[in-house]
Amino acid sequence: MKRPFAYVAGTGHSVPKRAVSNDDIAAMGLDTNDEWIFERTGIRQRYICGEGESLASLSAEASRQAMARAGVQPGEIDTIILGTASPDHLLPATAVEVQTLLGCGRAAAFDLAAACSGFLYGMIVGESLIANGSAETVLVIGAEKLSAIVDWTDRNTCILFADGAGAAVLRRQRTGGQKGILSSYMRSDGALAELLWRPAGGGAEPFSPEVHDARRQYVRMAGREVFKHAVRSMAEATDRALDAAKLTAADIDLLIPHQANVRIIEATAKHAGISMDKVFVNVDRFGNTSAASIPIALNDAMQQGRIKEGMHVMFVAFGAGFTWGSLVVRF
């Protein structure tokens, strides 16, 4: 079977009302400041949920935008895939709540857990459902409420992570169509899971008042080690996606990487042979929103006019697990 099977018909994104600057973070009493954070991460601000803002509400708003731009009605959605590492509830999936909020009564809906790679994994699964005839129209969401699982006394993590949601509608590409997903790649390595993880919060540790420590439910990260593996894995993923699409770096009009921090982005672009003027960066405004970062950046790029018809756009991500993946899409 010959690609493309599916194309991106519409995109959207949503963030909380409250923007939190680096100065706001420093004012919490942490030993940090705007210059220190920006120099190491490229982040100036991030959005954090307030009262009444949930993963489901952010996801629903991003999805409404994507569906409107795609010209898709709720009844046309066959499947909803929500990539997240911070669901509103462990049971049931947040995706079913989003389904209800959107009125997509005939859709199957499920969460997908691949951390920062969640949206790309979701796109690959969505394309597969379309390719095998199980769906015509798939709504893929990447969303996080990381403020709920971050230790706000740990400057190594709380300065990075943020909340938000992005969405894309995938539709079947009819015979002869040229736009759509040209190649994809995904991999994982669970041997290094404890470099970026939440030690507790699931069912692995029975609750015990004697040993319970609330901080074990927060994200823990070995930053330097994660950086090295992120650059290496994202470099591999860009190579694989280009090879599968039978393209070279010169053919890529725009690279949209996971917005982890600007140093990882620069290192990935350098390996791929793509100049920074062809790399989309908005980590300065949104921080690291994990699974939401690529769909937020995609919609941001679309709204800025950075993506035009006929362009080749490459996406690449790396996240806890470890997981990593890439896509090449012709718009």
Catalytic residues: 116, 258, 288
* DSSP states of 60-79: HHHHHHHHHHHT--GGG--E
Cis status, amide bond into 295, omega within 30 of 0? no
* Nearby residues of 122 by Cβ (< 8 Å), 6 or more positions away: 81, 82, 83, 112, 140, 141, 142
How far is CA 175 from each of CA 9, 120, 124, 305, rounded to the nearest angstrom? 16, 24, 20, 28
Q: Which amino acid, residue 128?
A: S
Residue closest to 231 by CA, chosen among 271, 289, 201:
271
- C-beta contacts of 227-233 below 8 A and 24+ residues apart: 227/263, 227/264, 229/192, 229/195, 229/318, 229/322, 230/260, 230/264, 230/318, 230/324, 231/264, 231/267, 231/268, 231/271, 233/187, 233/318, 233/322, 233/324
Q: Which two tokens stand for residue 260?
A: 């982890």
**φ, ψ dihedrals at 288, nearest 5°:** -95, 105
User: 308-317 burial, b if ≥16 CB within 10 A, otherwise e?
Assistant: eeeebbbbbb
Q: How far is CA 114 from the centre of its chain?
A: 9
